[in-house]
Amino acid sequence: MHICQPEIYETIIPTQTNLFRESFLRRTSDFFRRQFVGQEPDSHRDWPTILRDDCCFEQARNLPALCAGYDQPITFSPDNWNGCFVTFVSQDPLRKPRREGQRFSVASPWGFSAPSMRKKAGNLKIWPVIEGLCERGYGVYLTDAAKLYFHDANHLKFTSTVDLEKEALRREMQAIDAACVVALGRRAEKDLMGFGIPCVFHPHPAAYPSTIQKHYGIEHVTSSAVANAMLLDILDDLGTRSC
């Protein structure tokens, strides 16, 4: 399995350049590739800091010192990639001051470029799904509906910033042209539907256990049960679509 395979990722970088400089996006994707194979540290404190000069959105010039974040989209692709992508869209790049500190950091969605994050208990509901899809020849694309997260200050986002976030999402959905788009949570589903992008709703893995249980019809909400149910549902949906 490859992360941000260069020949594939070349189509992704231009989708985010209304928010960040191309040099920053390339530097970060290189960091993810090294981190994926254990050549970079992977604790929350070690995610790279985003500097004002890395940003292209106007609001970055006036950001106060606060906990903020951006999850740069990533791809996973197997050696036997069939040319099709399954896209997972989450809500936003959540950050917590106690964990990440008072800084603007960049990470990968779910932190999955980092070996330790792929073993984290809460992430074991989604990582086996990615592995299962790649084992079957599919590529996987991970992103967020809202590109930027400002802790305790999301209501202070400029209208121009929100417009740029929406444009970045529209661009990447068009570039990836996925065989199946999975919305993880109602917020992500609402944003995608607002663009007229067909998507399949799945509860966010951090949703209430009763919500997950009801959606998948499973008796016990264990990580393996949720991952297996999600994978089977996505494969069933892919069976009705062509790449």
pLDDT in tens, 193-241: 988 889 999 999 989 999 999 999 998 889 999 999 999 999 998 986 6
Confidence of residue 155 (pLDDT cuts 50, 70, 90): low
In this prediction, residues 124-128 reach a mean pLDDT of 95
Q: Are 233 and 213 in contact, with CB atoms under 8 Å apart?
A: no
**Phi, psi (degrees; rounded to nearest 5) at 170:** -60, -45
Confidence of residue 108 (pLDDT cuts 50, 70, 90): very high
Q: Please count the residues of the chain.
A: 243
pLDDT at 74: 98
- Tens digit of pLDDT for each residue in 65-77? 788 899 999 999 9
For residue 182, is pLDDT > 70?
Answer: yes
In this prediction, residues 20-30 reach a mean pLDDT of 97
Query: Which of 123 and 99 is assigned the larger pLDDT?
Result: 123
Distance from C-alpha of 11 to C-alpha of 122, rounded to nearest angstrom: 30
In this prediction, residues 141-155 reach a mean pLDDT of 87
Distance from C-alpha of 204 to C-alpha of 183, rounded to nearest angstrom: 8
For residue 97, is pLDDT > 90?
Answer: no
Query: Which of 154 and 45 is assigned the larger pLDDT?
Result: 45
pLDDT at 151: 85
**Phi, psi (degrees; rounded to nearest 5) at 169:** -65, -45
Distance from C-alpha of 26 to C-alpha of 23, rounded to nearest angstrom: 5
For residue 180, is pLDDT > 70?
Answer: yes
Query: What is the identity of the amino acid at 210?
Result: S
Query: Which segment of 14-18, 108-112, 194-198 scores lowest on mean pLDDT?
Result: 194-198
For residue 174, is pLDDT > 70?
Answer: yes
Indicate the pTM of the whole model.
0.94
User: 3-class SS at 18?
Assistant: coil
For residue 135, is pLDDT > 90?
Answer: yes
Q: Are 93 and 149 in contact, with CB atoms under 8 Å apart?
A: yes
pLDDT at 225: 93
Q: Are 26 and 13 in contact, with CB atoms under 8 Å apart?
A: yes
Distance from C-alpha of 187 to C-alpha of 31, rounded to nearest angstrom: 29
Distance from C-alpha of 121 to C-alpha of 106, rounded to nearest angstrom: 22
Please, what are the domains in the chain? 2-238 (3.40.470)
In this prediction, residues 46-72 reach a mean pLDDT of 89
- Cα distances (Å, whole numbers) of residue 156 to 118, 148, 149, 160, 198: 33, 12, 11, 11, 30
For residue 44, is pLDDT > 80?
Answer: no
pLDDT at 64: 72
Q: Are 69 and 107 in contact, with CB atoms under 8 Å apart?
A: yes
Token pair for 17: 């350049």
Token pair for 72: 């740069």
